[in-house]
Amino acid sequence: QGCNTMTSRTSSPLYHPTMTDPDMGVKMRNQRLLITVIPHAMTGNDVIEWLIQKYNITEEEARHLGGLLVQYGYIYPLRDPRSLLLRSDDSPYRFQTPYFWTSSRWPASELDYAIYLAKKNIRKQGELVDYEKENYSILHKRINHTWDFVVMQAREQLRASKQRRKADRIVLECQEQAYWLINKPCVNMPLYYHYTTTILLRYYYYTTIIHRRALGRNRVKSSICLESFMKYSEQYLHHDPIMSGCLPSNPWISDDTSHWTINTDMVGTPTRLRVERWSFSFMELLNDSMGRREFMIYLEKEFSAENLCFWVACEDLRHGESSKIILKVEEVYKNFLAPGAARWVNIDSKTMERTLEGIKRPHRFIMDDAQMHIYFLMKKDSYPRYLKSELYKNMLAKAIVPQETKKSVFPFMRRQRHSSPSPAMVTQATEDDGKAKGAGPTGTSSTTNSQI
């Protein structure tokens, strides 16, 4: 139980103040190194004794707990620094400074490690330990772009330490070394983790591809984006029923549905606004079924109607039923792509080659390249000519501009709202064929209401 309270604290077990307290903490001794005396050293034994007393735990628990403190770097051994054990004898240990406590918030960085190795290199006149030499050369390659900084900073950090008195300098070196023994980043991959290596390599490979692709994407400056958005808004301002109202009147307000009826797909004479929109962009023209029909008429005059037919067939393939895909691809090929086809479309050779290859394994998007080619052909060539043609101009002249309905004389008078017959009722009425009409439960009153 004592162990749990100690290690469950979020920041560190030494946040509990008494362990390092001069009066109530672990017994402190001096460490003498030749003529230098460094305070605040403790024996492993003392640490364990203190833990036993403080937390009222067994020696085994205390050893385990103390061992954790050493493993995680809150306490470090002064003799045998690489052996991260808490020995229950007079082996010397010392508390680590808060900056060097292991923390997931502050993971050790490769840059810091490189600086440390460079410092050690200077201090040891090049005599680094084997794995340190390896790590050094790996880091030198990996973060080469900032290596000058590594050297500069290493030198300056050493110069700063030189300012301290000798005892403190020694402690600093021990602290740093202890920290890096535990926290050095895994610069090298151990050989026997081959399986993990391959997984990691694959991960890196794909991440690199994704990032390369992202780098290569076209980016548009927001200033340009916003400009085109402004242009779009200006262009469509008069076509927006909310911003500019709609003629003859807004059906939701006036209950007059003429706005909808004069704008249906295949109405006799289109509205002027609608025909104007065909000139905004090619997609506007194609998306309007009447526009498409008109465009088809024009293309037939120019003997290039097969382009639009092909485009329509490709759209049908893309958005149609999966079960009919193979059939449709065959049809498209027969009608538009096969040599000598009735409505052969003029696609460049590369795209044609690719498409014909792809037809062997047909799927929904197999015609995309060809479709796009024809789309751009029409957009650049036929579409601008259509807009200048007599056909279009006549359409525009013929188009109607509905009159705005006069507002009622008493504008503030509220019209009585009445609901239209419920669709459920309509189906019932047709079911009750022959029975008395209008014999539904509630809605019948609506038909007898008069408009005010």
Partner 1 sequence: MDGVLLSKLKNLIKKTVESSSTADHGASGEECKTMLDALNKVTACYRHLVIALGSTSDSQNLREELKKTRKKAQELAVANRNKLTELLKDKTTSKDDRAEYERLWVLFTSSMELLEVDMKRSLEIGQEFPLKVPTRHLIQTGMTGSTTTVAARAMSVQNMKYDADSNIDTADLKELQTEITQVGQMMEEMEMKVQVAPWAVEAKQEAGAELKSTLSVGNSSVGVISICEEDARSCPGDENCCVCIPNGTDSPYSPLL
Least separation, in Å, of the C-beta of 172 and partner 1? 7
Q: Closer to partner 1 at the Cβ: 31 or 428?
A: 31
Binding status of residue 163 toward partner 1 by CB under 8 A: yes
Least separation, in Å, of the C-beta of 82 and partner 1? 6
Binding status of residue 211 toward partner 1 by CB under 8 A: no
Q: Closer to partner 1 at the Cβ: 172 or 341?
A: 172
Question: Taking phi first (over 0 means left), then psi (-120 to 50 degrees means alpha), and beta for anything else, what does residue 340 get?
Answer: left
Binding status of residue 187 toward partner 1 by CB under 8 A: no
CA dist 17 and 36 (Å) reads 28
CA dist 429 and 436 (Å) reads 9
| Tokens standing for residue 388 | 């200048």
Q: Supply φ then ψ for residue 348, to 5 degrees.
A: -65, 155
DSSP 8-state assignment for residue 106:
S
Least separation, in Å, of the C-beta of 395 and partner 1? 50
Least separation, in Å, of the C-beta of 376 and partner 1? 33
Instruction: For the segment 96-115, give every residue that binds partner 1 (CB under 8 A).
Output: 96-100, 105-106, 109, 111-112
Q: What is the DSSP code string of 273-323? A: HHHHHTTT-HHHHHHSHHHHHHHHHHHHHHT-HHHHHHHHHHHHHHHS-GG
Least separation, in Å, of the C-beta of 169 and partner 1? 7
> For residue 370, what is the enclosing H or E element?
helix 368-377
Least separation, in Å, of the C-beta of 85 and partner 1? 13
How would you class 158 by CB atoms within 10 Å of its CB: exposed for 0-12, middle for 13-18, buried for 19 or more?
middle
Binding status of residue 80 toward partner 1 by CB under 8 A: yes
Q: How many CB atoms lie within 10 A of CB 283?
A: 10
Least separation, in Å, of the C-beta of 136 and partner 1? 7
CA-based nearest residue to 75, from 26, 31, 124, 34: 26
Instruction: For the segment 20-79, give every residue that binds partner 1 (CB under 8 A).
Output: 20-22, 25, 28-34, 36-41, 43, 78-79
Check if the beta carbon of residue 119 is closer than 8 Å to that of residue 132: no
Instruction: For the segment 113-142, give every residue that binds partner 1 (CB under 8 A).
Output: 118, 121-126, 129, 136-137, 140
Site for partner 1 (CB under 8 A): how many residues? 84
Binding status of residue 154 toward partner 1 by CB under 8 A: yes
Which one of residues 5, 9, 166, 225 is an interface residue with partner 1 (CB under 8 A)? 166
Which one of residues 54, 64, 155, 364 is an interface residue with partner 1 (CB under 8 A)? 155
Instruction: For the segment 289-318, give every residue that binds partner 1 (CB under 8 A).
Output: none
